[in-house]
Structure 1
Amino acid sequence: MTPLVRATLAALLLIAGTASAADQQLETRFSCSVARTVDGEKVIYADNGEISLAGSHIDAFRWESSLFRSTHGFDCSIDESDGLVAEVRDAAPMVQWRIALKDANDARTRRGYDFDRLPRCTIRLEREGDTLNVKPSCPALCGSRPNFSELSVNLKTGQCRYEE
């Protein structure tokens, strides 16, 4: 092998081994639920979603999160029609996305909520190996409870774990 061929091959291997954050992709669907006892009352959490991201481009993002009690329940959903933007960061061995609303007040108003909340909503997605951690912070979008459940999903088995 000539020095030029060896140098070209080394450069190609280096390029192939250094994928940028913009090259990171996430494609998943999940459906999770768990029953717990909270303050002596049975509570059911139920979440389902579909996420398709290519770098900071959102191909699909839909998530519905519900909390049911014996006397009442709450649900909230978010999708591309809410005006979402995404940022991606490769923090090897983890890839992180931050999904946010362009205008949380507008999204809340379109949903029929007219009370004041902090004007933000972010959902952090952290993929490490086969695990996707979903960490929401959305006081601005729906009702009075924390709007979405924090959970982890095994991307291979689909098994979910809710954070306490």
Structure 2
Amino acid sequence: MRRLFSPFRSLVAAITLLCAASVGAQTLDTKFSCSQVGDDGGDRITYADSGEIHLDGSDVKTFRWESAIFRSTHGYDCDIDEEDGLQAEVRSNGSSGNSAAWRVALKDGATARAKRGYNFERGVNCTIRLERTGNTVKMLPTCPALCGSRLNFSELSIDLDSGVCRYE
């Protein structure tokens, strides 16, 4: 009798591990703080980003991202968080269990923009693609007008183990 249950237990354990790997592949939990100084045609430019993201599949548990660009004469910053009305969808990336992809978007871009005090109609959409491969997350924003009329967020990659960021 013991032999009959042993293979069954092994099969259940294998299925449990497989399901855990699949769920883990669709989870992102990170905090980051990055900055980089560069040169833009002779003008010193500083990028600064910080945030906290926790996605569980398509469920947005926490999403906060502040992004700023400073020049010697001016600067601008923008932030986005779950209070802006975010929704996430898990994207198929055709890769193995150590990678995942999401698209985070505003449910209602016009309402989010109006809450911020911007009232013109163009460019209200905001999407952020997140691509995790191994221990690296790429953040690929297309938010041209959430906080104004120009690009509001920096494209960057974050090493989840070391916290080191690289601006793209």
Q: Shift of the alpha carbon at 1:135?
A: 0.7
Q: Equivalences for 1:16-35 in 2 at 5 Å?
A: 16-18=17-19, 19-20=21-22, 24-35=26-37
User: Shift of the alpha carbon at 1:145?
Assistant: 2.2
Instruction: Quote the Cα distance in structure 2 between the aligned partners of 1:119 and 1:69.
Output: 25
C-alpha distance 23-130 of structure 1, shift in aligned 2 (>3 A): closer
Q: 1:54 matched to which residue of 2?
A: 56
Please say if residues 104 and 140 of structure 1, whose CA atoms lie closer than 8 Å, have aligned partners that are also in contact: no
TM-score, reference length from structure 1? 0.89
Please, what TM-score do these two structures have when normalized by structure 2? 0.88
Structure 1 contact 105–140 (Cα < 8 Å) conserved: no
**Distance in 2 (alpha carbons) for counterparts of 1:151 and 1:23:** 20
List gaps (5 residues or longer) in structure 2.
Answer: none
Counterpart CA distance in 2 for 1:23 and 1:45 is: 30
* Alignment partner, residue 128 of structure 1: 133
Pick which of 12-21 and 45-54 moved more: 12-21
Aligned length: 163
C-alpha distance in structure 1 between counterparts of 2:17 and 2:145, whole Å: 41
Counting aligned pairs with the same residue, the percent is 52
Please report how far the alpha carbon of residue 88 of structure 1 lies from its aligned counterpart in structure 2 after TM superposition.
Answer: 1.6
The structure 1 residue matched to 2:118, chosen from 108, 113, 120, is 113
What SS does the aligned partner of 1:6 have?
helix
Of the three residues 149, 159, 164, the one matched with 1:144 is 149
Q: Report SS of the residue matched to 1:2.
A: helix
Gaps of 5+ in 1: none
